[in-house]
C-alpha cells in the first residue's frame, strides 16, 4: 500500500456489526457477498473511487452530502498535503463514522456521478442498481453529463469552483507540531470593491502562524529594510509575489512580498504552507535558508530568505549574468545533487521537490547552489513502495517525466529526471524545448545524435575552450537521469558519486576566470567583445571575444 493518497482503512479499529448479507441475483447465479459498511469494502475499490473523485474535483460535493462542515472540508484539503489526497481523507473519515455503501451510492446518484456508482456497484444492495438505469456510456466515461445540474447538498451553498474552495477553507487547522494557523477573514485582507467573490464567500485563506524556530518579523522592519518597498530594490517578480532586496539585521536578505489574490487563494495558501513546512524541517547547506515571516499586516505578508548574490542558474545559462566556466558548473551540479540527495534520504518518508529547473537553483557569492521554491514539494512514497499516486500534478511541464504527468505517479525519480535535464542544459546551453529543432525535447534530441563528436558540437562555448571531460560526464549522466523508464534512472546517491569523480575536479583548460562583482551593470557588451569590469573599483577583470553560439 502506498503512502499519501492511500486510504488506510484496513487497520482501523472499528466496530464490526453483522452487516454482510448474502443474496442471489438470479436463479443459477453465484452467491455474492454485499457489504453494508464502507470500511468493509476492499481497499483497491475505495482507492479507485478516490482517484476519480480527486481527478474530477467531485470530493467537496460528496463531502457536503455526507454532512461534513465547511471547516472539516477545508481541513481535508490542507491535511491532504501531509496525509494523502482529499478524497481519501473524506472516505476514511466517513468510514470511521460507520458510513454505509448504500448511502454513499445514493449520494453519488444525486451528484449524477455514474463513474463512482459503477465502481462501488457490487458492494451495495442490488435493489439500488436501478438508479444506474438512466446512465449512458458517454456519461460514464466523462463523469457528469452537462444536462445534469444537481443542487448543492446540505451544508453547502451553490458556490462552485474557486468560490467553493475558498468557502471550504474555514476555521482553525491543527498542525502536527501543535502550532496553529488562523484563517483570516476576507474582510481583513481584501478590499470590498473589485472583489472577485460574492458576499457569501465569508472566508479567505491566509496564514497567521508560529512555526517552531521561524522568526516572526514585524512588517515595519521589512519596510525599513527595503526603503518602503522601493521599486529600485526589486529583484524579480513571480506569480505569487514580488521579491525585494533588503538590509535587515545588518544582513542582505531577499524579501518575497506575497500577492493576495482571491481568484487563486487556495493554491496560494497551499504553496506557502508547504514551503514553510519544508524549510522548517530541512536545514542543509544546499537548501535556501528561510530567516523569518511577517504576517502582522495580512495584505502584505512577507517571507524573508537568505540573499543569493550569484543570481539563478537560469540567468547564467541565458547570459543575463556572466556565464559559468566548467569548474563552476561542476560546483553547481554537485551542490544541487547534494541538496536533492538530502531531501530523498530524509528519515521515514522522502521529500520530492517537484519543480527542479535552473530558475530554482540559486547561487551564493561563491557560486555554491541552493535549492529554492519548495511550494510544490510533496512527500514521496514509503520506504517499501516505488511510488505514490497524487490527485494533481504541478510543476514546469517540460521538466517533468511522463509517468508523473500522465499517470500521476510520484517518486524521487521525478526529481532525478528534472536534474538530468538541468545537466544537459548546463552542458549545451540549449533550450529544454525548442519548436525549431527537428526533435523538440532536449534530452531526446541529444540522445538522437549518433556519436560523441556530434554531441560535442553542442558544447557551450561560453564555458571556455576546455572542459571536455566535464561536458561528456554531464551529457552521459543527463541522458541516464532523463531516461523514459524511471527504472533506468539512477538514485541521487549514485549520481553524487559520479559527480565527485576526479575527472570533474581537474582544472579546465582555457576556462573563463571567476569574476569579483555580481552586479549585472558590470557587464559591458561591445560588438564582438564582452568585458566584465567592476564599476565599484574601476577595474577591468577580464575581456573575452564572444564566440558564435549555436
440 labelled ligand-binding: no
Contact 495, 334 (CB under 8 A): no
Contact 217, 209 (CB under 8 A): no
Distance of CA 155 to the CA centre of its chain: 31
Listed in sequence order, the residues at least 6 apart from 349 whose beta carbon sits closer than 8 Å to its beta carbon are: 3, 379, 380, 381, 382, 383
Contacts 24+ apart (CB under 8 A), 516-525: 516/541, 517/541, 518/309, 518/310, 518/311, 518/321, 518/365, 520/320, 520/321, 523/321, 523/322
Classify the C-alpha dihedral 415-419-425-426 as positive or negative.
positive
Classify the C-alpha dihedral 345-347-349-353 as positive or negative.
negative
The Cα-based distances of 325 to 319, 462, 492, 519 in angstroms read 12, 7, 24, 18
Among candidate residues 315, 355, 373, 460, the one labeled active-site is: 355
The Cα-based distances of 13 to 9, 16, 95, 314 in angstroms read 9, 9, 11, 52
In order, the DSSP letters of 33-74 are EE--BGGGS-HHHHHHHHHHHHHTT-HHHHHHHTT--HHHHH
Cell reading at 415: 526529481
Cell reading at 451: 556519436
In order, the DSSP letters of 191-214 are -STT-SS-TT--B--------TTP
The Cα-based distances of 515 to 143, 532, 540 in angstroms read 59, 7, 10
Residue among 269, 270, 293, 296 at smallest CA distance from 280: 293
In order, the DSSP letters of 340-355 are HHHHHT-SSS-EE---
Distance of CA 124 to the CA centre of its chain: 38
Is residue 355 annotated as a catalytic residue, yes or no? yes
**b/e map of 29-58 (b: 16 or more CB within 10 Å)?**
eeeeebbbbbbbbeeeebbebbbbbbbbbb
End-to-end CA distance of the chain: 49
Residue among 512, 513, 359, 515 at smallest CA distance from 425: 359
Binding site, annotated residues: 257
Kindly list the catalytic residues.
355
Amino acid at each position: 500500500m502506498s503512502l499519501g493518497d492511500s486510504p488506510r482503512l484496513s487497520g482501523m479499529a472499528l466496530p464490526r456489526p453483522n452487516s454482510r448479507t448474502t443474496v442471489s441475483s438470479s436463479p443459477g447465479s453465484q452467491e455474492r457477498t454485499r457489504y453494508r459498511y464502507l470500511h468493509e469494502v476492499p481497499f483497491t475499490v475505495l482507492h479507485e473511487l478516490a482517484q476519480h473523485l480527486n481527478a474530477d474535483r467531485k470530493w467537496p460535493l460528496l463531502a457536503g452530502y455526507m454532512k461534513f462542515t465547511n471547516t472539516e472540508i477545508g481541513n481535508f484539503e490542507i491535511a491532504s498535503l501531509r496525509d494523502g489526497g482529499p478524497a481519501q481523507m473524506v472516505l476514511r473519515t466517513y468510514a470511521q463514522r460507520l458510513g454505509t455503501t448504500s448511502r454513499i451510492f445514493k449520494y453519488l446518484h444525486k451528484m449524477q456521478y455514474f463513474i463512482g456508482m459503477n465502481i462501488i456497484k457490487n458492494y451495495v444492495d442490488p435493489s439500488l442498481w436501478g438508479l444506474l438505469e438512466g446512465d449512458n456510456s458517454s456519461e460514464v466515461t466523462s463523469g457528469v453529463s452537462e444536462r445534469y445540474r444537481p443542487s448543492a447538498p446540505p451544508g453547502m451553498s451553490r458556490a462552485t469552483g474557486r468560490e467553493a474552495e475558498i468557502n471550504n477553507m474555514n476555521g482553525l487547522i491543527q498542525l502536527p507540531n501543535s502550532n496553529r494557523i488562523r484563517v483570516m477573514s476576507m474582510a481583513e485582507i481584501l478590499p470590498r470593491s473589485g472583489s472577485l467573490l460574492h458576499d457569501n464567500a465569508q472566508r479567505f485563506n491566509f496564514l497567521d502562524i508560529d512555526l517552531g524556530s521561524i522568526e516572526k518579523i514585524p512588517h515595519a522592519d521589512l519596510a525599513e529594510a527595503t526603503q518602503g518597498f522601493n521599486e529600485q530594490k526589486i529583484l524579480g517578480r513571480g506569480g505569487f509575489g514580488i521579491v525585494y532586496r533588503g538590509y535587515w539585521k545588518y544582513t542582505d536578505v531577499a524579501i518575497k512580498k506575497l500577492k493576495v489574490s482571491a481568484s487563486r487563494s487556495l493554491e496560494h495558501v497551499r504553496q506557502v504552507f508547504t514551503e514553510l513546512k519544508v524549510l522548517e524541517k530541512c536545514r542543509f547547506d544546499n537548501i535556501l535558508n528561510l530567516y523569518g515571516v511577517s504576517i502582522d499586516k495580512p495584505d502584505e505578508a512577507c517571507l524573508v530568505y537568505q540573499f543569493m548574490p550569484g543570481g539563478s542558474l537560469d540567468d547564467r545559462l541565458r547570459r543575463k549574468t556572466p556565464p559559468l566556466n566548467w569548474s563552476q558548473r561542476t560546483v553547481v551540479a554537485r551542490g544541487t545533487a547534494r541538496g536533492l540527495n538530502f531531501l530523498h534520504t530524509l528519515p521515514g518518508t522522502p521529500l520530492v521537490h517537484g519543480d527542479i529547473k535552473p530558475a530554482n537553483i540559486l547561487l551564493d557569492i561563491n557560486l555554491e547552489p541552493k535549492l529554492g521554491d519548495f511550494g510544490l514539494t510533496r512527500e514521496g512514497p514509503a520506504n517499501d513502495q516505488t511510488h505514490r499516486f497524487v490527485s494533481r500534478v504541478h510543476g514546469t511541464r517540460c521538466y517533468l517525466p511522463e509517468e508523473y504527468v500522465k499517470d500521476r505517479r510520484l517518486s524521487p525519480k521525478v526529481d532525478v529526471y528534472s536534474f538530468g535535464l538541468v545537466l544537459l542544459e548546463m552542458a549545451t546551453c540549449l533550450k529544454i524545448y525548442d519548436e525549431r529543432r527537428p526533435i523538440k525535447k532536449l534530452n531526446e534530441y541529444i540522445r538522437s545524435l549518433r556519436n560523441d563528436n556530434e554531441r560535442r558540437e553542442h558544447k557551450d562555448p561560453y564555458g571556455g575552450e576546455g572542459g571536455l571531460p566535464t561536458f561528456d560526464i554531464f551529457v552521459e549522466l543527463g541522458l541516464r537521469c532523463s531516461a523514459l523508464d524511471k527504472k533506468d534512472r539512477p538514485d541521487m546517491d549514485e549520481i553524487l558519486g559520479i559527480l565527485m569523480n576526479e575527472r570533474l575536479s581537474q582544472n579546465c583548460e582555457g576556462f573563463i576566470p571567476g569574476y569579483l562583482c555580481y552586479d549585472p551593470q558590470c557587464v559591458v557588451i561591445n560588438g564582438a567583445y564582452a568585458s566584465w569590469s567592476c564599476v565599484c573599483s574601476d577595474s577591468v577583470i577580464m575581456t573575452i571575444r564572444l564566440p558564435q553560439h549555436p
